[in-house]
Amino acid sequence: MNVPMALRRIKPAVAHWATNAICQHPEVLNFMPDATPRQRIWLRAVDWAFVRVNGDFGAWAARHVSEIPGRRYQEVGPFLRDLADWACAEGPSRHFVTRSFMPSMSLKTVTALSADWHEAVANHMDGLDTTFPPPWYPATRVGDYEIVPIENSAELFREGAAMHHCVGAYADHVQSGRLYVYSLRRAGERVATFALAREAASATLIEIRGPCNARPEEKIVAVVRRWLWARAPLPPCE
């Protein structure tokens, strides 16, 4: 199959970065949807699965990404990352995997096993109380909402247990400076948890989850995005 010809309807900027990974697995293009908007989502998701996870998960994603609900990659991508966290679980969290990932599994099976794993990890997360590096942005209030940086591993574990998701597994990433995690609250009640990743002098919202790993309402996501857009550049990494 001629990969560039198969991508002829995709915008060049999207096709360019997707082609490198997918050219090595041209057979997966048989699963690419017909509609151009869905093709863009599919290319980005499958490229991520091959590059950031592994070949088995990439091949599985190629077959099933089109079944994941969502009209934008911002909806499909986080869902796929949650599944990858389960499929590639390592260390102590691996103990809670009741059935290992197989490329032949259906989306329904993978989603159910991933949800069970996230719940188990959140309910059993514990560890040493480690202080994280200083937060990238301090606590602040945005309208009725309070944005609170999570500054140590004990608070991160408590956030995961209270919200019934596995954010506690991000402790090593926060400690290394790759991520910072914040809790969004209203009237003292946890509403959502979100993670920022550093990109040079700016921070990017890569994950936002409500209770039980649910996607928060769009108005809540908009609050976080507006707050982030108004932040000053990050200082250089030490």
Dist. CA 98–CA 125, nearest whole Å: 17
Kindly tell me if the per-residue pLDDT of 236 is higher than 80.
no
**What pLDDT shows up at residue 106?**
97
Q: Is the residue at 135 inside a domain?
A: no
For the chain, the average pLDDT equals: 85
Q: How confident is the model at residue 202 (pLDDT cuts 50, 70, 90)?
A: confident
Let me know whether 89 and 179 are in one domain. Answer: no
CATH of the domain at 164: 3.40.630.30
Q: What is the DSSP letter of 195?
A: E
Per-residue exposure over 8-29, b if at least 16 CB sit within 10 Å of its own CB, e if not: eebeeebbeebbebbeeeeebb
Let me know whether 150 and 114 are in one domain. Answer: no
Let me know whether 181 and 106 are in one domain. Answer: no
Question: Do 39 and 33 meet the contact criterion of CB atoms below 8 Å apart?
Answer: yes
Let me know whether 106 and 165 are in one domain. Answer: no
**What pLDDT shows up at residue 1?**
47
pTM score: 0.62
* Domain extent at residue 208: 140-229
Let me know whether 113 and 150 are in one domain. Answer: no
pLDDT digits (tens, 9 = 90+) for 35-78: 878 888 999 899 999 988 999 999 999 999 999 988 888 778 88
Q: How confident is the model at residue 116 (pLDDT cuts 50, 70, 90)?
A: confident
**What pLDDT shows up at residue 145?**
96
